[in-house]
Amino acid sequence: MRKKIVILSFILIVSLFLAAACSLTGSAVKNNDQCSSLESSAKDECYFEANKCSKIENKDIRDSCVAELAKIKKDIKVCDLIVSDKTKAYCQEEIAIIQNNQNICREIEDLYWRDNCNFHLGINNNKDVYCLLVSNTQQKEDCFKEIALATNNHILCEVLQDNEREGCIFKIAKITKNVEICQELSKPTNRDSCKYNIARLRGDKEICKQIGTRIIRESCEANFGPKPVSES
């Protein structure tokens, strides 16, 4: 009789243990995949946030998820899992920037993202040679301008058009307080205004003598006129 009671007690303990284990397992499964109870786009967005790209049904969202996963892993190979050509190109561009690797830009087939890749790596590294690889004219000029102002290299302003070129050179001349750079400006009034500004910045009246436009020269010299005598 006692033996039977022991056996029954053992069976009861095992049953309770299995029930508890089953409950814990079920809870773990539920917690590990809370997205499964959602529907349609809500489910896809949930998996996107969880970086579970393979469970996403919408192709565009899945591609975007893989791109973000590639950025997290900093792995260019992950981009190869993307179906959409444009999203794959975006992924490659992002990894190129993260790795600071211009070689990746060369592998991008989409022109828009290849230009963006060379543009960002150009200004991030002050490499004007990368600007030359940008096909879009406006973006190429912006690339050269950013680097010119970041490095105070007025030579790079030469690729800019008209007023953009003048403004770029003028800014660098003022920043460096280099009156010789003023001579690179194409318009006489711009050259004289440049010299006037540098004379004031350097507190050097002698620079005023280099100004050809009379009204600008006189304004320059007036800045260094005698101070009014204070009444005693």
Rounded mean pLDDT for each run of 10 residues along the chain, 232 residues in total:
49 47 39 72 86 89 95 96 97 98 97 98 98 97 97 97 95 97 96 97 96 95 72 50
- 17 Cβ contact partners less than 8 Å away, ≥ 6 residues apart: none
- 97 Cβ contact partners less than 8 Å away, ≥ 6 residues apart: 117, 120, 121, 124
* Nearest-angstrom CA–CA distance, 174 and 62: 51
pTM score? 0.78
- 216 Cβ contact partners less than 8 Å away, ≥ 6 residues apart: 189, 192, 193, 196
